[in-house]
């Protein structure tokens, strides 16, 4: 198979690197000039659990021409529509597109560019970091779940699952992936925006009595909206999962903290808490915590003059 | 009259200084050792619109013994109960107590220590700053409104109004002071907590589209709860007042920003947005914006390890 990684940041590099060790071909796509130059000149450097240096083709999305068998979407949420426009030339009638972005509502965007039968939705708990252009740091073990959006096209999902497992990415074909996507979004929705605003680690947030109260109100809004959309979600189960995650990740600053506080970049808030508020509005469900946290993060972006 | 200033921070120093220029006697009360020592040794230094140095008695609240004619309360909100306990010895049957604290709900605290007929509630737009121990910076002109809580004791309120006007403090006896107290609390409730959390000036907050949306939702909660308590409040009028204040004070960091961000001190959030949420709970009115902002500020206090 020819596999494109559309958005080759930290996670894209992990997936591209691991797939490059199989019989499949990988092409990385990205728009970051320094990253493209570093990988083109010196290869992709890997450190962390393994030390490696691999030759991998990388180019801008608009420069790719060879039709893809599989495209794995790993952009930031707000870059997704532009990416789908830019890679039009490599999307054939049978090209499968796997979405592994954080957050909610991406299927509505992807449907505008890709026929439903070729869309695979997924969620992953793999992690990765970038040390700098062309240098990924890979630590720990993860997994991912995916499902064909069109139930009649499970076969495509299974083929992609097999390909990912050749790359030791611990993929599972999941007959009901949507609740898992919501579960991860709920973890992000409770920790990312709050830690970014409070400039604190996950452990510091959860050590605060009032922090915990907020977390529980946010979870409740996610569950209420998700259930109203027909997604099977159990509040106690998700609360336990969020609490467990907070313990494991206590010393970490979530990715939105990295974006907003550390790097002064736009955040994905509209696709996490903002998405729940938007869905809530359509369903007639008020979600003031998700709405206010979205407004606070956007106000902070405005204060920092991030565009 | 013998006038005590119970809580001689920046505002207490302004009032004490101006009253000291009249025929009335003033004693400052405070617990800050360096401040007491500086004023005792060198007098109270005034800079800003005037340069002056005045001898003023200052002592700890527990050390005051002479019965007061008037006590002006100017503590931080959370220090009020302790102050009222500490000054028990100077409160006589005819001692009038004027409350000029920011925020809502202080009358419920004061009633536990002072008979209702001697309580005066007020609100002021005077400002002041402290340059350091024993040194107040006074700029600009302000005013204050006050009212006797007991309508049968208007006479006391008028006497205190006269005394304050001798000190050129632009006092008005206000037959309906409560809406004005709410109006100021609403200004604080929209700007203080949000600017403290976002680490920004009032102008930066109001320049953000999402910041403005939040401001309007917070105002709406204040109005809804106030009206349910029987306070005459007009949403359009208060919104206009908040907007005008935001323009005048655009370059300022509000006092809660100074407390939380600049000095890592506990905030008065429980007496502003927190008070509205608490009143809302009693009245069966949900105020999620006030509740969440209170939780965020407390979570930030916890992250900063402020106790």
- Cβ contact (<8 Å) for B292 and A288? yes
Is there a catalytic annotation at residue A96?
A: no
Mean pLDDT of A19-46: 98
Given B210, B296, B303, which is nearest A204 (Cβ)? Answer: B303
Contact A30, A67 (CB under 8 A): no
Rounded distance between C-alpha atoms, residue B214 and residue B294, angstroms = 14
Tokens of B186: 């609403």
Please, which pLDDT band fits residue A45 given cuts at 50, 70 and 90? very high
Q: Do A210 and B293 touch (CB under 8 A)?
A: no
What is the predicted pLDDT for the residue at B92?
A: 97
The whole-model pTM stands at: 0.91
Q: B-chain residues within 8 Å CB-CB of A294?
A: 210
CA distances from B235 to A198, B219, B220, B231, B240 (A): 31, 7, 7, 12, 9
Q: Please list, residue by residue across B12-22, b when 16 or more beta carbons sit within 10 angstroms of its beta carbon and e when fewer do.
A: bbbbbbbbbeb
Chain B residue closest to A295 (CA)? B210
Shortest CA gap B30–chain A (Å): 31
Contact A97, A91 (CB under 8 A): yes
- Chosen for mutation from B199, B299, B304 (greatest number of chain A CBs closer than 10 Å) is B299
What does pLDDT average to over chain A? 97
pLDDT at position B151 over 90? no
Chain A nearest CA to B197, separation (Å): 7
**What is the pLDDT confidence band of residue A14, given thresholds at 50, 70 and 90?**
very high
Q: Residue A192 — very low, low, confident or very high, per pLDDT cuts 50/70/90? A: very high
ipTM of the complex: 0.90
Does residue A200 contact residue A188 with C-beta atoms inside 8 Å? no
- Min Cα distance B194 → chain A (Å) is 8
* Residue the block writes with tokens 């695979």: A120
Q: Which domains does chain A have, with CATH numbers?
A: 2-175 (3.40.50.720), 178-304 (1.10.1040.10)
Q: What are the Cα distances from residue A12, in Å, to A8, A20, A188, B295?
A: 4, 12, 19, 37
Q: Searching chain B, which residue's CA lies closest to the CA of residue A286?
A: B288
**How confident is the model at residue B37, as a pLDDT?**
98
Average pLDDT over residues B174-195: 96
Q: How confident is the model at residue B299 (pLDDT cuts 50, 70, 90)?
A: very high
Q: pLDDT averaged over chain B?
A: 97
Provide the pLDDT confidence category of residue B307 given band limits of 50, 70 and 90: confident
- Alpha-carbon separation of residue B127 from A187, B30, B102, B259 (angstroms): 44, 19, 12, 16
Distance from CA of A203 to the nearest CA of B (A): 10
- Residues of B at the A interface (Cβ-Cβ below 8 Å)? 194, 197-200, 204-205, 207-211, 213-214, 217, 288-289, 292-296, 298-300, 302-303
Report in angstroms the alpha-carbon separations of A221 from A71, A276, A280. Answer: 33, 8, 9
The whole-number pLDDT of residue B113 equals 97
Q: How confident is the model at residue B24 (pLDDT cuts 50, 70, 90)?
A: very high
pLDDT in tens, B192-238: 999 999 999 999 999 999 999 999 999 999 999 999 999 999 999 99
DSSP-derived letter for residue B259 is I
Rounded Cα distance, B226 and B223, in Å: 5
> With an 8 Å Cβ cutoff, are B302 and A207 in contact?
yes
Which residues from B are below 8 Å from A299, CB to CB?
194, 198, 200, 205, 208, 210-211, 214
B52: pLDDT strictly greater than 90: yes
Q: How many CB atoms lie within 10 A of CB A132?
A: 11
Confidence at A254, pLDDT banded by 50, 70, 90: very high
Question: Which pLDDT value is given to residue B235?
Answer: 97
Say if the Cβ atoms of B299 and A217 lie within 8 Å. Answer: no
Classify residue B305 as exposed, middle or buried by CB count within 10 Å of its CB (0-12, 13-18, 19+).
exposed
Residue A242, C-beta contacts closer than 8 angstroms, at least 6 positions apart: A186, A187, A190, A191, A215, A219
Q: Measured between CB atoms, which of B213, B214, B302 is closest to A210?
A: B302
Positions of B annotated as catalytic residues are 184
With 90 as the cut, is the pLDDT of residue B172 above it?
Answer: yes
- Cβ <8 Å between B298 and A205: no
Residue A298 has its nearest CB partner, among B200, B207, B208, at B208
Q: Where are the alpha helices (DSSP H) in chain A?
A: 10-20, 33-42, 80-86, 106-110, 154-166, 178-198, 202-207, 209-228, 235-248, 255-257, 273-283, 288-303
Shortest Cα distance, chain A CAs vs residue B294, angstroms: 8
For residue A84, the model assigns a pLDDT of: 98
Nearest by CB to B289, from A194, A288, A298: name it. A288
Q: Is the pLDDT of residue A126 over 90?
A: yes
Calculate mean pLDDT across residues B9-29: 98
Instruction: List, in order, residues 6 or more apart from A68 with CB less than 8 Å away.
Output: A2, A3, A4, A87, A90, A91, A92, A95
pLDDT digits over B238-289, tens only? 999 999 999 999 999 998 999 999 999 999 999 999 999 999 999 999 999 9
């Amino acid at each position: 198979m020819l596999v494109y990684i559309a958005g080759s940041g930290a996670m894209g590099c992990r997936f591209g690197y691991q797939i490059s060790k199989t019989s499949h071909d990988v092409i990385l796509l990205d728009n970051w000039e320094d990253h493209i130059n570093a990988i083109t000149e010196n290869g992709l450097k890997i450190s962390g659990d393994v030390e490696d240096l691999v030759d991998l083709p990388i180019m801008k999305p608009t420069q790719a021409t060879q039709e893809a068998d599989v495209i794995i979407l790993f952009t930031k949420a707000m870059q997704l529509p532009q990416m789908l426009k830019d890679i039009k030339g490599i999307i054939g009638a049978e090209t499968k597109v796997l979405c592994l972005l954080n957050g909610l509502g991406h299927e509505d965007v992807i449907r505008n560019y890709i026929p439903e039968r070729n869309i695979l939705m997924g969620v992953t708990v793999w992690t990765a970091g970038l040390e700098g252009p062309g240098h990924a740091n890979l630590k720990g073990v993860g997994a991912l779940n995916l499902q064909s959006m069109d139930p009649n096209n499970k076969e495509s999902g299974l083929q992609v699952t097999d390909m990912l497992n050749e790359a030791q990415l611990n993929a599972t074909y999941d007959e009901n992936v949507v609740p898992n996507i919501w579960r991860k979004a709920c973890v992000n929705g409770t920790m990312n925006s709050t830690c970014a605003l409070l400039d604190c680690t996950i452990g510091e947030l959860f050590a605060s009595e009032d922090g915990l109260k907020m977390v529980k109100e946010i979870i409740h809004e996610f569950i209420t909206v998700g259930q109203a959309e027909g997604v099977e979600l159990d509040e106690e189960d998700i609360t336990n999962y969020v609490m467990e995650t907070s313990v494991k990740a206590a010393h970490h600053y979530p990715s939105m903290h990295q974006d907003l506080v550390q790097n002064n970049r736009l955040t994905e808030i509209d696709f996490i808490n903002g998405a729940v508020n938007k869905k809530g509005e359509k369903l007639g469900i008020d979600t003031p915590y998700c709405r206010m946290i979205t407004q606070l993060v956007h106000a902070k972006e405005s204060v920092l003059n991030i565009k």
